[in-house]
Amino acid sequence: MNYHNPPRAVAWWLFACCAMVFVTMVVGGVTRLTHSGLSIVEWKPLIGALPPLSHADWLELFAKYQQTPEFIKRNHDMTLDGFQFIFWWEWAHRLSGRLIGVVFLLPYLFFLARGYLKGALAAKVFGFFILGGLQGAMGWYMVKSGLVDDPRVSQYRLAAHLGLAFLLFGLMFWTGLGMLQPRAAKTAVSPAPSHKGIPLRITFTWRLGNGLVVLVFIMVLTGALVAGIRAGLAYNTFPLMNGHFLPPESFVVEPWWLNFFTNMALVQFDHRLIAWALMGLIPWLAWRIARENPAARTPALLLVLWLAVQVTLGVATLLLQVPVALGAAHQAGAMVLFGLLLWAIHAHRRA
């Protein structure tokens, strides 16, 4: 990290925080897929960073877990060894979240003292720290939903938890890109039809890109709903869903709007439908970016290539009924796709 170039140093620090958010999300995905998320029944932000240090500590934690609905209804035959397996995944997920806070706060204070962060930028970046704290609080709020009666976390809270992670990643990544790639100097206004001095064709590409950022984010939320109600374990065929484009049972829940959040058929259909839309829209966006701005061709090409990888991961995850490795890879791939989309749009706008 080059401390003699303040914008570059801050940018790489933000990218490092993005990488930690990515790792934390991957660990969280494995935690969910291994049904480990309800193994720690308390939230102790400081003391909880220490793992059990003795056999007596393990027995105490296991005794607390044995009082939860998950143990009583599903894991009543679990041994201490089995508990330790799920405990370590949840502990690693929480520890990773804590480490993000440390890796963010200490360099932030350093950059603030050195004058690398000032005014609105300093306030904006500190807002990322607040958002990270809210993300951690939402994680515990999510876990609490599975410690009451039904040993399954709320799909709404799961979607909020994952959505906040993507929002935090996106804001830090975009800010870091802005510090590495300053806006190019303005040139003479194009004689072509324009809006505020910007050719209309480029303005349309920007709006298309912004719309796709929103659409990918919505797809992430629908993926969280799929995971929350375990809809990936149903309709394990592709491209049709058990022989149907839209399963006939997609609107059996009353009131009708609840089907979009609780009905396995419709929740999975929505996730698939957005995937089909992105398979057409993202290559179109990449083509427009590459044509209008040769400097942005690399992220545009990588975006299309990774879209193919992500779709392949999604289909394989579905057909194989969500094995842990593929499920985690598919979730991780969504954040990679999100980052590449932001990079391509940013490169197009800045050049």
- What's the domain count of the chain? 2
Residue 188 three-state SS? coil
Cβ partners under 8 Å of residue 108, min gap 6: 117, 125, 126, 129
Last residue of one domain, picked from the residues 113, 147, 182: 182
- pLDDT on residue 181: 76
In a domain, 138, yes or no: yes
Q: Tens digits of per-residue pLDDT, 103-160? A: 999 999 999 999 999 999 999 999 999 999 999 999 999 999 999 888 899 999 999 9
Q: Pinpoint the alpha helices (H) of the chain.
A: 6-33, 55-65, 69-73, 80-114, 119-145, 155-180, 200-228, 259-262, 264-292, 297-319, 324-350
Nearest to 25 by CA among 86, 97, 88: 97
In a domain, 187, yes or no: no
Claim to verify: residue 136 and residue 227 sit in the same structural domain: no
Phi–psi pair at 33, nearest 5 degrees: -70, -25
Last residue of one domain, picked from the residues 163, 182, 201: 182
Residue 262, judged by CB atoms within 10 A of its CB (0-12, 13-18, 19+), counts as middle
Could you give the CA distance from residue 287 to residue 294 in angstroms, rounded to a whole number?
Answer: 11
Claim to verify: residue 323 and residue 243 sit in the same structural domain: yes
- pLDDT on residue 351: 61
Claim to verify: residue 266 and residue 318 sit in the same structural domain: yes
- pLDDT on residue 49: 86
Claim to verify: residue 167 and residue 199 sit in the same structural domain: no
Claim to verify: residue 200 and residue 332 sit in the same structural domain: yes
Cβ partners under 8 Å of residue 217, min gap 6: 163, 166, 167, 170, 338
- pLDDT on residue 2: 47
In a domain, 267, yes or no: yes
In a domain, 71, yes or no: yes
Claim to verify: residue 122 and residue 231 sit in the same structural domain: no
Q: Tens digits of per-residue pLDDT, 221-267? A: 999 999 999 999 999 999 999 999 999 999 999 999 999 999 999 99
Residue 194 three-state SS? strand
Claim to verify: residue 86 and residue 200 sit in the same structural domain: no
In a domain, 316, yes or no: yes
Claim to verify: residue 21 and residue 80 sit in the same structural domain: yes
- pLDDT on residue 190: 47
In a domain, 304, yes or no: yes
What is the full per-residue pLDDT of the chain (351 aa) written as tens digits?
444 567 899 999 999 999 999 999 999 999 999 999 999 999 888 777 899 999 999 999 999 999 999 999 999 999 999 999 999 999 999 999 999 999 999 999 999 999 999 999 999 999 999 999 999 999 999 999 999 888 899 999 999 999 999 999 999 999 999 998 765 544 444 455 555 555 666 789 999 999 999 999 999 999 999 999 999 999 999 999 999 999 999 999 999 999 999 999 999 999 999 999 999 999 999 999 999 999 899 999 999 999 999 999 999 999 999 999 999 999 999 999 999 999 999 999 876
- pLDDT on residue 290: 94
Last residue of one domain, picked from the residues 137, 155, 182: 182
- pLDDT on residue 278: 98
Claim to verify: residue 106 and residue 209 sit in the same structural domain: no
Domain that holds residue 124: 1-182
Could you give the CA distance from residue 39 to residue 55 in angstroms, rounded to a whole number?
Answer: 17
Phi–psi pair at 199, nearest 5 degrees: -50, 140
Give the torsion sign (CA, 207, 313, 91, 62): positive
- pLDDT on residue 227: 96
Claim to verify: residue 203 and residue 178 sit in the same structural domain: no
Written as six digits, the tokens of 128 are 């990322």
In a domain, 188, yes or no: no
In a domain, 169, yes or no: yes
- pLDDT on residue 194: 55
Claim to verify: residue 209 and residue 109 sit in the same structural domain: no
Give the predicted TM-score (pTM) of the model. Answer: 0.92
Claim to verify: residue 236 and residue 320 sit in the same structural domain: yes
